[in-house]
Structure 1
Amino acid sequence: MLEFIVSMLRDFGLTDFELELSMRDDEKDKWIGSEEYWEHATGALRNVALATGLKLTEVPGEAAFYGPKIDLKTRDAIGRTWQLSTVQVDPNLPERFELEYTAPDGSKQRPIMIHRALFGSIERFFAILLEHHAGAFPAWLAPVQVVGIPVAGDFAPYLGEIVDRLRRHGVRAELDDSDDRMQKKIRNHTKAKVPFQLIAGGEDQAAGAVSFRFRDGRQDNGVPVDEAVTRILEAIESRAQV
């Protein structure tokens, strides 16, 4: 489960993780269940955490009264640490609700419940992502992935066909056929941090090509349309930052 959580968060562009294992307090009146259960559950979580290879900090006294837990923390682009995911062991609720399952040998067994929070608050998670990426999301996550910018209005239909083709592949693509000058359009969409700007003029249309412009100002001219579509789809599929 921890491997899945880490893999999922990496898809969002987070890469720096550490774990905290919250353990029971020494005072018996602050937790329920047997010492045997606590030792077993804490040991199991510790082994799972160590198997990830991530830094692990053990924190006595921070567990819930009914079981130990692992918190996953991430460090953002400017070095701040955020607590995100939690895996919490809970034998209490299955006991209270008398939950049972039938084991392979036919015997009735009581399950252990695991509470899992992948993101915490989804609003807080996206706030963390916004700050981590400074708004420049990976292409797969960007609200607008591609915008077409014609050099002049005459080339809007040509770019419109390419935008429609991308949309048929599920790409969030738009055509900017507003009356703004081309340079203003480029400036606006660069500020909006759109991953791919596709620019086309007379030479591009004649060659069946487009020019890529990226958020950092780089430009790749004269890219055949088929290749351009493939590059965009591959960047989205691989969840790469561009």
Structure 2
Amino acid sequence: LGRELDLFSVHEETGPGLIIWHPKGARVRGLFEDLWRREHYRWGYDLIYTPHIGRSTLWETSGHLENFKDNMFAAMDMDGQDYYLKPMNCPFHVMYYRNGLRSYRDLPMRIGELGSVYRYERGGTLHGMLRVRGMTQDDAHIFCRPDQVVDEINGVLDMTFHLLRMFDFTEFQVMLATKPDKAVGSDEEWDLAIDSLRSTLEQRGLDYGVDEGGGAFYGPKIDIHIKDAIGRMWQCTTVQFDFNLPRRFGLKYIGDDGQEHMPYMVHRVLFGSLERFMGVLIEHFGGAFPTWLAPVQALIIPISDRHLEYAEQVRTKLLTADIRVETDARSERMGFKIREAQLQKVPYMLVVGDREADAGAVGVRLRSGEDLGAIPVDELVERITSESVPG
């Protein structure tokens, strides 16, 4: 469906699991990226950008080379030193934290990034947008005091449900993932971390299952699966508790007692990856994105060439109102153009002819097939604008 709608493609020449976002897909991605940024600023996050590769010593310190190397691409030799494409953003966010002396007053520190990562997924597991090798994660890491952990996890869950409901997801399945066989840290630390996540879920009254051994190597996690329009479950959101990286990187803050203390760290992704979330959205909406998320909100269909001038006037007026609009100026029959626009899931088809031009109106067809008749252009602008708000 994503290919039929001209949203993305994968090519043998570029390599499996590496997505080329087409203009329409990039438009949809840009819309939910903008929403993501706006909401994160509102929820008290600061956003940063970090490199795509890092020196091997970074990944040795973080534990990724010891515990995650099978999922990393091979090393690149640069000036006699090994560098790796990053499989995760967390060590770079740790570097940002370490860039200055932190006080207990600075915490919690919420650092987010739409960061591209690269993971060597086995060829047989790759699948469209849903399982890829190059992805952009809507990543964030929260550095906090021990007494802030539960509130921060609650804040992440609040934000998760708020954001996902904007995309019409209302049913969720929650899983608590515990210590895997390959893990770092003591049993006592894992018990403390698991208890913190469990108590948060229970205090919220959330039903949850337990995924024994499903945690990350550095800590347990909460996974949230969302149910799409036809009842399928998709895992997107992950909230992880980490006591490992702060210790490995020697993270400190100065407490109110004037002494050094180690912060805790909460990792979280809400969409999971933009590629996977896009794949889920395509399936959830069957390609018929709501008006606010549609790559093309309106398509103008002039009846004949002599109506192109008026079609351009309408297009300009809609563009001025920030409506995503295109004109189909091909020499095809009007019925053919309408059927093709419906197959492309365009919310509004605007037919313009002599009567519409004389009345300053457009003939409006919906992708459902409903014919709304002639509507003044200003009234149509108000209608589409009102539907262009997320949620």
The TM-score bracket by the shorter chain reads 0.7 to 0.9
Contact 1:71–1:83 under 8 Å retained in 2: yes
Q: Does 2:215 align with 1:60?
A: no
2:327 pairs, out of 175, 178, 187, with 175
Q: Secondary structure at the match of 1:114?
A: strand
1:143 pairs, out of 278, 283, 295, with 295
- Quick one: structure 1 residues 64 and 162, their matched pair in 2 at CA, closer, same or farther if it must change by over 3 Å? same
Q: Secondary structure at the match of 1:2?
A: helix
Once the two structures are TM-superposed, the CA of residue 175 in structure 1 deviates from its matched residue by: 0.9
Q: Deviations over 1:119-168 (max 9, x none)?
A: 33332222222122111111222221211112232222222212112222
1:8 pairs, out of 133, 152, 163, with 163
- The match for 1:20 is 175
2:186 pairs, out of 33, 36, 44, with 33
**How far apart, in 1, do the equivalents of 2:347 and 2:372 lie?**
13
**How far apart, in 1, do the equivalents of 2:196 and 2:273 lie?**
27
Contact 2:321–2:381 under 8 Å retained in 1: no
The correspondence of residues 196-235 of structure 1 with structure 2, limited to 5 A, is 196-235=348-387
Contact 2:167–2:390 under 8 Å retained in 1: no
Q: Does 2:201 align with 1:46?
A: no
Amino acid at match of 1:20: M
Of residues 228-237 and 45-54 in structure 1, the stretch that sits farther from structure 2 once superposed is: 45-54
**How far apart, in 1, do the equivalents of 2:262 and 2:270 lie?**
25
Contact 2:239–2:269 under 8 Å retained in 1: yes
Q: Does 2:305 align with 1:153?
A: yes
**How far apart, in 1, do the equivalents of 2:315 and 2:390 lie?**
21
Runs of 4+ in 1 over 4 A off after TM superposition: 50-54
Contact 1:211–1:221 under 8 Å retained in 2: yes
- The match for 2:284 is 132
Structure 2: gaps (5+ residues) = 1-155
**How far apart, in 1, do the equivalents of 2:329 and 2:162 lie?**
39
User: What's the % identity of the aligned pairs?
Assistant: 42
Contact 1:2–1:49 under 8 Å retained in 2: no
Contact 1:135–1:193 under 8 Å retained in 2: yes
Once the two structures are TM-superposed, the CA of residue 54 in structure 1 deviates from its matched residue by: 4.6
- Quick one: structure 1 residues 40 and 149, their matched pair in 2 at CA, closer, same or farther if it must change by over 3 Å? same
**How far apart, in 2, do the equivalents of 1:34 and 1:237 lie?**
48
**C-alpha RMSD of the superposition:** 2.3
Contact 1:78–1:132 under 8 Å retained in 2: yes
Contact 2:300–2:350 under 8 Å retained in 1: yes
1:113 pairs, out of 259, 265, 268, with 265
Q: Does 2:223 align with 1:71?
A: yes
Q: Secondary structure at the match of 1:236?
A: coil
TM superposition score normalised by structure 1: 0.86
**How far apart, in 2, do the equivalents of 1:30 and 1:232 lie?**
52
Q: Secondary structure at the match of 2:293?
A: coil
TM superposition score normalised by structure 2: 0.55
